[in-house]
Structure 1
């Protein structure tokens, strides 16, 4: 059953017969002002997640209730880390870089064709990394998005280690979120250590001066915050109009949990930022 305000869609890449699922969420009521469509990407370490997980479906639904037109994308996933160091078998649905990014770019072109007020590229966690890479590639191709939104994303091939030991001890304690495990996850996505240096795999540490206005929302207690904080700083140093917020008391993937207040706080912040392109830049706290 398709929820109200949601329309399924699909697009096919020019290189293959692969269909890229796109799910649409229309704003509730008549929009009071024109604003861009948000193309939103779920997280999951590049190897898990999908259109139905809360980080995709619940976030898009909440933003639609706040007047934002949203499209989500079912990009292809990488092999499960530890089980996929060999090349994925022929016919396998598991792929590696750059194919997931190609799916996002295919969706971006399709959404842009139906969005006269422009497109904001955004995502959470690994989806934020993909959204940042798609922003770079689209800008290179002369299709610069209207903006970018990143929630607790990571953007660097090697995850930065936080220098404050006291803060680090309060961050996410899951073994899968240990910095060394995150580095393994990154290599699993691209398939080799050498490929991690690709600019369109991990944009952190590369030239980001052509980025559009950007909103960065990080979780306070999150090992990945070191990469999110650094990337926001890199954007600011490059002259990009970046609004950077750190939500107190939050942990990684809080958008996968619609109940707590952090979910409503972040979705309201994203909606307000999309609707108000001239909002002054806010600096991170904490």
Structure 2
């Protein structure tokens, strides 16, 4: 898509919506946010939404942030999208010494998410891919500190474990022969996560990667995984860990979808997933 066409497309997503950019004063610096609600002022549940991008890419104009937020706002959900600070690009990262990596690393992106969430203590919290990890980790850290956490979590095709859990046969069958869906090999996930954590020691921190640790005190959780995605192994394992800890979990796999489908707003996968999220949040608001 040409730059001018993309700008027009992004602007059209918010026709009829009240969209406002702002900042929230954070621990390290101001955190940019974008608020979405229906232009008529109606607002139901509030969702703090965190985009993905391997912890190192993306932003408020990313479709996984902007298009998702606009689609949910049209369905009556008030959305606050978070532009957390991202770590350096990881695509050339191969390995690192045991010592800390320079630049922005964990817990800075997590601190930014928690800063915004504390401004909206009665909101839901959710995100996609790396944003799902940050959302689950923020809820876990608030619970561990005895702070008021989100009303619930919405986690889309996230990476929750420092190391990708073994990919079960039923997922292997879904990705076999689909080379564009197999970019998340165990070594790829390890490098991506190490690049975010910043050190081998931080890889074991439960607030960097909550998967594989006892998830105590987390709220009800809606999980939406991609069908043709090896990261689904982490999503399914985390859903099982939550259920074992007594957390109410609703887990869905969007048939035929690939990782990052929330970045593709003209697909049926995007439409069905955003409708599912809005429906579940609306049902909880009505007490059903």
Native 8 Å contact 1:171 1:220 kept in 2: no
1:131 to 106, 131, 135: 135
- The aligned counterpart of 1:23 is 34
- The aligned counterpart of 1:5 is 18
- The aligned counterpart of 1:91 is none
- The aligned counterpart of 1:275 is 282
- The aligned counterpart of 2:233 is 226
| Distance (whole Å) between structure 2 residues aligned to residue 178 and residue 208 of structure 1 | 25
State how 1:133-282 maps to structure 2 within 5 Å: 133-141=137-145, 142-164=147-169, 165-169=172-176, 173-174=180-181, 176-277=183-284
Runs of 5+ consecutive residues of structure 1 not aligned to the other structure: 89-93, 113-117, 282-286
Change in Cα spacing, 1:5 to 1:279, as seen in structure 2 (3 Å) is closer
- 2:126 matches 1:122: yes
| Residue 194 of structure 1: how far off its partner (Å) | 2.1
Native 8 Å contact 2:101 2:199 kept in 1: no
Native 8 Å contact 1:179 1:223 kept in 2: no
Q: What do the CA deviations read for 1:220-243 (whole angstroms, capped 9, x no partner)?
A: 110100000111111111111111
- 2:85 matches 1:76: yes
Change in Cα spacing, 1:57 to 1:49, as seen in structure 2 (3 Å) is same
The structure richer in helix per residue is 2
> Which moved further from structure 2: 173-182 or 194-203?
173-182
- The aligned counterpart of 2:116 is 107
| Distance (whole Å) between structure 2 residues aligned to residue 187 and residue 155 of structure 1 | 13
> Which moved further from structure 2: 103-112 or 129-138?
103-112
| Distance (whole Å) between structure 2 residues aligned to residue 167 and residue 174 of structure 1 | 9
Native 8 Å contact 1:28 1:67 kept in 2: no
Aligned residue for 1:55, secondary structure, equals helix
- TM-score, length of structure 1 as denominator length: 0.86
Instruction: Give the number of equivalent residue pairs.
Output: 267
Aligned Cα root-mean-square deviation (Å)? 2.3
- 2:72 matches 1:59: no
Native 8 Å contact 1:38 1:121 kept in 2: yes
| Residue 143 of structure 1: how far off its partner (Å) | 1.4
| Residue 120 of structure 1: how far off its partner (Å) | 0.5
Native 8 Å contact 2:181 2:258 kept in 1: no
